[in-house]
Structure 1
Amino acid sequence: MRWEEVRERFPNDWVVCETLKSHSENGEYFIDEVAVIDRYDDSKIAMKRYYELHRESPNTEYGFFHTSREKLNLREKWARVRGPR
């Protein structure tokens, strides 16, 4: 699911996602496609779920984001980049 679709479907929510497709460009890491795993009103609960998933499957790229974000991009310094998917 593209981020625009996530934002429409889950307005003003915290979502825990698996990254399905991503790319790097000019020092930024862009998440192009995600699978939404869960949605929450509370960031602390979303973060807890993120850590649970990460412990269960450490090689899978997960993230938790608020849908008020217009785009899903991070500085590569802060992203775990494994290359384009």
Structure 2
Amino acid sequence: MNDIHRFGELFNGQYSGTIRGQTRLEVPAMQWEEVRKIYPNQYVKLQILASHTEGNTKYVDEVALIRAIQDPKEATKELLQSKDGVIVSHTANDELKVEIRTLRGLRGVVQHEN
């Protein structure tokens, strides 16, 4: 099954929307290859604008650059805090994709006895 996902609004190639609680801004919608050329060999924080899903993998089609990150430790911290379509990746990666994992657990209430 191939699902298409679009976030925010695109007007003439520009993303218009709020990125992670910031003021409404307009930034260019970019392909991953464009980001890789402009920011070679570094970490980047991105807002996913459009993606499609194949099996358990989400392939990112369009992004808006939030910022470049120089320090690997800061990139890791930003990645761990990412949510709502915000990701961190290194431009050495050929593809921008996210593995979708299903959390499985027990339903119901767990009762503890003393």
TM-score by length of 1: 0.73
Shift of 1:77: 1.7
1:39–1:46 Cα contact (<8 Å) kept: no
1:3 and 2:3 matched: no
The letter for the 1-side match of 2:86 is Y
| Aligned positions, number | 72
Higher relative contact order (CA 8 A, sep 6+): 1
- Return closer, same or farther for 1:74/1:49 CA change in 2, 3 Å cut-off: closer
**Larger-Rg structure:** 2
| Structure 1: runs of 5+ lacking an equivalent | 79-85
Q: What runs of 5+ residues in structure 2 fail to find an aligned partner?
A: 1-29, 103-114
- Corresponding residue number in structure 2 for 1:73: 97
1:61 partner amino acid: G
1:11 CA displacement: 0.1
Q: Which has the higher helix share?
A: 1
Is 1:43 paired with 2:67? no
Instruction: Name the SS for the 1:8 alignment partner.
Output: helix
1:24 to 53, 66, 69: 53
Question: What's the TM-score once normalised by structure 2's chain length?
Answer: 0.56
- In the alignment, the residues of structure 2 paired with residue 4 and residue 20 of structure 1 have an alpha-carbon distance, to the nearest angstrom, of 15
Whether the 8 Å contact between 1:6 and 1:67 is mirrored in structure 2 is yes
Amino acid at match of 2:53: S
Shift >4 Å, 4+ stretches: none
Distance in 2 between residues matched to 1:43 and 1:20, nearest whole Å: 24
My pick for the range that moved more, 31-40 or 69-78, is 69-78
Q: Which structure has more strand as a fraction of its residues?
A: 2
Q: Which residue of 2 aligns with 1:61?
A: 85
Letter in structure 2 aligned against 1:48: K
